[in-house]
Amino acid sequence: MIATDNGRRVALVTGGSRGIGLDIARRLAGEGFAVTVAARKEAGVAAAAGRIEAEAGVPVLGVAADMADEQALGRLAAQHTERFGRLDVLVLAAGLGAEETVGAIRTKAYDLQMGINLRAPVLLVRELLPLLRETAAAHPERGSRVVALSSITGVAAEAGLSVYGATKAALLSFCETLSLEESGNGVNATAVAPGYVDTDMTAHLDGRLERKSMLGVSDVSEMVLGLTRLSARAVVPSIVISRAGSQLWRA
């Protein structure tokens, strides 16, 4: 196990190659965190890791891992632990959605959303919990944190997004249970639940919803940075970020 230089804090960000995850990884690196960036595609991981390293000058580890593959999740946890031996912030941003009404749900799309949005975060937290506990014990003032990208659809249902919303609602519950079980050990969890954010994921809404009405990735990453500045005594179960307009509870 290699200790990190300067005792700097360390983050692992899934879905860190694009969109919200990439911005969170960049912002954490800008704050001096060493970062592991994980995503499915090797090229995206390499590009993101190179960019973050060049911008922030912090140690960055890029790991290509398909969140649908339990063994890949184990390898990701092992590679991170081997490289950094510390985990202050675990950001679970890898995710995907399929828009289809209940009567038209495809089993394959259901399995994919459950697998990437719920099963993978749960299994990865299980794998990394010993390291999160160890880090919190060594740094009791800050502790360590899990931040899961939920969605406002997990709080207020959206027609056409039943399965996606169900996975995101489950993440809200999972984060609450994690804090109940582990905050005494210094490990806190927060589900961040934004409305539509301007990323590749919302490209299918072109023509239906103006991009300038969506949240920016920095609206989400600012919240994550804020969480990293709290003491271990502060438990934040969830953060909902709604979009400006006359409806509060819609994506």
Ligand X SMILES: NC(=O)c1ccc[n+]([C@@H]2O[C@H](COP(=O)([O-])OP(=O)(O)OC[C@H]3O[C@@H](n4cnc5c(N)ncnc54)[C@H](OP(=O)(O)O)[C@@H]3O)[C@@H](O)[C@H]2O)c1
Binding residues for ligand X, per CB under 6 A? 15, 17-21, 39-41, 44, 66-68, 93-97, 116, 149, 151, 194, 196-197, 199-202
d(C-alpha 136, C-alpha 232), whole Å: 8
Output 151 or 188, the one with its CB closest to ligand X.
151
Tell me the sheet residues that pair with 194.
Answer: 241
Which amino acids are annotated catalytic?
164
In angstroms, the CA 170 to CA 57 distance is 37
Look up residue 74 and give its amino acid. Answer: G
Nearer CB in complex with ligand X: 17/135: 17
Please say whether the dihedral angle defined by the alpha carbons of residues 81, 85, 90 and 94, taken in this order, is positive or negative. negative
Query: Tokens in use for 92?
Result: 């679970």
Return the closest-CA partner of residue 89 out of 21, 5, 43: 21
Q: Which is nearer to ligand X, 39 or 87 (CB)?
A: 39
Q: Which class for 222: exposed (0-12), middle (13-18), buried (19 or more C-beta within 10 A)?
A: middle
- CA gap 159, 155 in Å, rounded: 13
